[in-house]
Structures are given as C-alpha cells and as structure tokens.
Amino acid sequence: MSWDTVTPYHRGFREYAEAYDAFGFEDIHQGALPFLSETPGLVLDVGAGSGRDAAWFADRGWQVVAVEPADALKAEAARRHPSPLIRWIDDRLPALAAVHRLGLGFDLIWLSAVWMHVPPQDRPRAMRKLATLLKPGGRMMLTLRHGPAPEDRPMWPVDAHEVERLGLDHGLALRVATERTEDRGGRGDVRWQTVILDLPDDGAGALPLLRGVILHQEK
C-alpha cells in the first residue's frame, strides 16, 4: 500500500513552517547539541521542513543539502531562510535517489521528526541508503516521535532499539539514545527522543561497533 505522507505538509505549508520556526534549534535539539562537531562540514538535512535546522547549520558555516518533498513547504523554507550555503532538493526516503546522484559523502546526516513517516517495511532500505551516504567517521542523528498519530498525517510507531538494530546491520554503532522528553508544543501525549549513530572510521573506532555486534547477538 502507498501512503501519502507528503501532501499534508504541502497543503498546510505556512502553518507548519510557522509552527516549526516558533522554537529555536537549541530548544528542540538539546539532546543532540553535545554531539555536534564545532568544525563545519557537509550536512544532509532529510525532511528539512521550514528550514530552521538547515539555517542553524548554515549560520555556523556548514554546507547544507536540504531535502524536502513537499514543494510548497520547500519554497516557503527557502524564502524564510535564504542562504548560499543551503542547497534545496526535492527528494524523499526510502530511496533518496536525487541525493545519491550528487555523489557526495556527508559528515552528518540529520533526520528531525522524519523517521515516524517511514513505513516499517521501508526502514531497512531507508537505513541502507542513509548509511551509504555517510563518510567514514560520519554521524547520523534522528529524533523519534512517540505518541498517537494525528488523523491528517500518516505515522508509524518508532523505537530506538529498532533504529540501533537497523544501523548495526549497515555498520553503524549507537552513540547515544536519550531519555524521552516532553513535547515543546505542549502535546501531553507526545514525547521525543534523540538517537545518534556513528560510522567508525578506523580500527579503534570499530571497537565499540564490534562490542555492539556481540551484545546484539547475545540478546
């Protein structure tokens, strides 16, 4: 079955852009801040929405490839956050075909409030496509939304252990999975969690991954 997870964001682009930009990057991503490099690199922002996060990275010197499949929302984001360091692309998970055609390797892959829109049957492919876009030593950050789905937007349950397992299948080691935190928008039945995966770049970096494989097999 094909699920339309994009049209609601296209139709309500202005409402969603205003809602996302109402909160600052540091407020939303406190769990990820300690794990972000102070040295700018190349970041892939998947499901970039209003452009809030892409603009934060660009303001700090990062080169940003911002992926957003909702055309109207993408146009609104580019208007709100114009920057020569942000390149906007129409693409989507699980394939990310347009991004792969760029032939780039990313220091950081950023998925904020995206994974719950990927149907479970598509997640192995999505993780594989994402992992192959990371440079050795690169990092992937996901925020997971826990709670009931709105009636107008298809979403599926997410789980940090599932993300860790899928990452492990493609050579990624879990760096951190934070505790669930309250929703900044005041929705009492919604919680958020940050999960960070690393792609080891050498023998020393691979040691935690090997430990993870052993523990995973024992479980």
Is residue 194 in some structural domain?
A: yes
Is residue 1 in some structural domain?
A: no
Is residue 2 in some structural domain?
A: no
Rounded CA separation 50/31 (Å):
20
Is residue 160 in some structural domain?
A: yes
How high is the pLDDT of residue 2? 54
How high is the pLDDT of residue 207? 46
Rounded CA separation 167/170 (Å):
5
Yes or no: say if 103 and 76 are a contact pair by the CB < 8 Å rule.
no
CATH of the domain at 55: 3.40.50.150
Range of the domain at 11: 7-218
Is residue 17 in some structural domain?
A: yes
The series of mean pLDDT values per 10 residues for the chain, 219 residues long, is 74 83 91 95 96 97 97 95 97 97 97 96 98 97 93 91 96 94 85 96 52 44
**pTM as predicted:** 0.89
pLDDT digits (tens, 9 = 90+) for 80-112: 999 999 999 999 999 999 999 999 999 999 999
How high is the pLDDT of residue 203? 45
What is the token pair recorded at 117? 């829109």
Yes or no: say if 36 and 60 are a contact pair by the CB < 8 Å rule.
no
3-state DSSP of the chain? CCCCCCHHHHHCHHHHHHHHHCCCHHHHCCCCHHHCCCCCCEEEEECCCCCHHHHHHHHCCCEEEEECCCHHHHHHHHHHCCCCCEEEECCCCCCCHHHHHCCCCEEEEEEECCHHHCCHHHHHHHHHHHHCCEEEEEEEEEEEEECCCCCCCCCCCCCHHHHHHHHHHCCCEEEEECCCEECCCCCCCCEEEEEEEECCCCHHHHHHHHHHHHHHHHC
Which residue in this structure is represented by tokens 């852009």?
17
Is residue 181 in some structural domain?
A: yes
Domain count, the chain: 1
Is residue 128 in some structural domain?
A: yes
Question: What size, in residues, is the chain?
Answer: 219
